[in-house]
Amino acid sequence: MSQALILLTYFSLEGWLRFRRYRIPARRRIRAKFAALVGDERGPLLICANHLTLIDSLVIQWALAPGWRLFVRPAWFTWNLADKHNITKNVFVRILGYLGKCVPVLRKGPPEEARHTLDKVAFLLSRGQSVLVFPEGRRSRVGRVDTENFTYGVGRIVQETPSARVLCVFARGLGQREYGNYPRPQETFFVRLKRCAPTTAFRGMRGDRDLATQIVGQLSEMEQEYFENAILDR
Amino acid sequence: MDTKTAFGKIVSIIKPFVKNTTAFGTATDGTRIIEDLGVNSARLVDIILAFEDEFGIEVDDESADRVRTLGDAVQMILQKTAPAH
C-alpha cells in the first residue's frame, strides 16, 4: 500500500516537473552515482542540500532515483523538512505535503519547537529512513551557499544519529540567479553528489556548529566546482 | 561578578548580532534578544557559545532555551559563575 502511494506521489510530482519542462540531462548518471554511493547498505541516510527554491526537494528526489527503484527501496523516497507555512496553505498542498513525506517545520519558532523537529528527524533516521535537509535553514538570500548565515540543526542531527551516512547534494538551475519560489520554466538542472563524513571532537552546541560548518563547507566547495565547470556538464 | 558587569559584557557579546540598533541603544533587562533586538534565532547558539568562552561556563540546551531576554542571560550567567558553597 505504502509503495503504491509512493509511486503515485512520485509520478505525480515527476509529471508536474515534466509539465514545467524542467530537465536534468545527467539524470541517469546521477542516479547511477547515487546507487553507487549509497549501495546496498541499509540504514539511515541524511541528505544535505543547498537551497534556492521551494521545489528543490522535488528536483533532488527526481534526480536521485526513478519510480521503480523507490518501489523496491521505499526508504529512498526521502522525508523532507518543509516550512509549515508553505505546506498548510490549502487542502491540496496539505495532501501533497503528507504524501510527499514532509515534516513540517515552524520557522522562527521557539527553540523547543526546533528541538522537537530535530527529535522527529532523529527518530526517522533511527528507523533507517532517508531524510533530506537544507543545512542553511532557509533559501539562501545571497544566491550562493550561505556560509555565513546558516543554522546548526544539521550538526545536531549528525550528533544524535552518528550511524547516519551523510550525502551532500548540490543542485542548481543553470539560469538560477538568486533565491526564488520556482525555477524558471524549462530550467535545466545541474546536480552533483558527494559523500561526506563530518567529525568533531566537540559535544553539544559547539559540536553542532562544527559539524554544520563542515557540511555547509562541503556544499560550498561543490558550488565552487559548479561555477568553474558547469559548462562541461551540459 | 555583579549584575552590572555581567550585563555590560553580555551586551558587548550580543552587539555584532543585533539588527535593531535603536532598540539596542535603550536595552534593559527586559529587552528580548530575538524579537526586540532582531537577532537571528540561529545566531543564538553563537551567542551562547560566546558566553561559555567569556565566562568559562557550560550551558546546556535547557538553560540556553530559557534565555529570551538580556535579563535571562544575566541571571543564567550569575547563577553559573556563582561560587559553590
- Residue B40 at interface with chain A, using a CB cutoff of 8 Å: yes
Classified as helix, coil or strand, A175 is coil
Contacts of B40 in chain A (CB under 8 A): 149
A56-64 and A27-38 helices, crossing angle to 10°: 80
Residue A115 to residue B40, Cβ atoms within 8 A: no
- Pairing mode, if any, of strands A189-196 and A165-173? antiparallel
Categorize the per-residue pLDDT at A1 as very low, low, confident or very high, splitting at 50, 70 and 90. Answer: low
**Number of folded domains that form chain B:** 1
Residue A115 to residue B44, Cβ atoms within 8 A: no
The pTM of this model reads: 0.91
Q: Which structural domain, as residue segments, surrounds residue B30?
A: 3-81
Would the ipTM clear 0.95, i.e. be above it? no
Categorize the per-residue pLDDT at A92 as very low, low, confident or very high, splitting at 50, 70 and 90. Answer: confident
Categorize the per-residue pLDDT at A230 as very low, low, confident or very high, splitting at 50, 70 and 90. Answer: low
Strands (E), A111-208: 130-133, 165-173, 189-196
Q: For residue A55, give the C-alpha cell.
A: 521545489
Report pLDDT for B32.
95
> What value does the mean pLDDT take over residues A79-105?
89
pLDDT digits (tens, 9 = 90+) for A178-216: 999 999 999 999 999 999 999 999 999 999 999 999 999
DSSP H or E run through B39: none
Burial of A59 (0-12, 13-18, 19+ CB in 10 A): buried
Give the CA distances from residue A122 to residues A46, A93, A110, A154, in Å, rounded to whole numbers and listed in that order. 10, 25, 19, 11
Query: Domains in chain A, ordered, with CATH?
Result: 2-233 (3.40.1130)
For the ranges A57-61, A88-92, A106-110, B62-66, the one whose mean pLDDT is highest: A57-61
What CATH number is given to the structural domain containing B24?
1.10.1200.10
Mean pLDDT of chain A: 92
Among partner residues A150, A205, A209, which is closest to B64 by beta-carbon distance?
A205
